[in-house]
Amino acid sequence: GAQALSYAQRAEKYTNPAARELLLTMERKKSNLSVSVDVTKSRDFLAIIDAVGPYVCLIKTHVDILEDFDFTLIESLQVLSKKHDFMIFEDRKFADIGNTVALQYSSGVHRIATWSQITNAHSVPGPSIIAGLSSVGLPLGRGLLLLAEMSTAGSLAVGQYTEETYQMARGHRDFVIGFIGQRRPTGEGDEDFLVLTPGVGMDVKGDAMGQQYRTPREVILESGCDVIIVGRGIYGKDYSLTEAIAQQAERYRDAGWSAYLERCKA
Ligand code: 6AU
């Protein structure tokens, strides 16, 4: 299956430009780390990204939590993405009818489709959500991840729901490049999906609100996932400690990459 191949070999199998670029960036930077920058002030947002930039393949954003958002922030983010060679993933978790998600993706204050190479969606509405989002994203060369599983305790995205999410993706390989999930899809065979995995932490097992953490080794080596998504485990609570933040990013980058090298040997 896909997990035996290198990221670079897998890039060849994709026609979607966002998937190809992500895999090639991972190989070039020797990083399967995505940092999730969940802070409310633009100043902290850009400082964290500049600190972790050298160690990541992908920056994950929640731009709707920034209290001082304006579109010039996107230009600053794009400058950092060129400086450090990473891609951008707005974690919007679309979940509505096709017509509504197409508007949410293209328009509003954030105009996500114009700058975010990758975004994600819940599969709960059924295939119409892919039709809606792809009408906007496919012409722009964007890629979509479906939420097949969640990292939280008591998640309802299990069993049949997860299996049917895989099936939805199989019908739209041009735009759906993979999943947010905790393991590789069952029955993957020769097909190749990217699996990006949140709920990663090396020092604690979870938070007070149901988040659950596994280590990079468990995620990449044991569960065969492709990208570790790490937020608070890297930047903690004091966003001014940019040197410590950079060191944590390096630590997670090393842990994720050595688990991947071990997987390639197996
Ligand atoms: O490392 P953390 O716990 O500070 O942050 C994890 C990040 C957050 C969540 O919104 C997101 O990952 N996330 C997702 C995504 C990426 O879609 C799905 C999920 O199941 N769990 C999860 O934590 O920004």
User: Amino acid letter at 230?
Assistant: V
Distances (CA, A) of 250 to 27, 53, 116: 16, 10, 24
Considering the chain, what percentage of its residues have pLDDT values greater than 70?
Answer: 100
Closest ligand 1 atom to Cα of 147: 17
| Ligand 1 contact via 90 beta carbon (within 6 Å) | no
User: How many whole angstroms separate alpha carbon 94 and alpha carbon 164?
Assistant: 17
Distances (CA, A) of 218 to 111, 115, 260, 263: 36, 32, 11, 11
Which two tokens mark 120?
């994600």
| ipTM attached to this prediction | 0.99
> pTM to 2 decimals?
0.98
Phi (first) and psi of residue 29, to 5 degrees = -90, -5
SS3 of 34, please?
strand
| Ligand 1 contact via 256 beta carbon (within 6 Å) | no
Average pLDDT over residues 82-100: 98
Report pLDDT digits (tens) over 51-86: 999 999 999 999 999 999 999 999 999 999 999 999
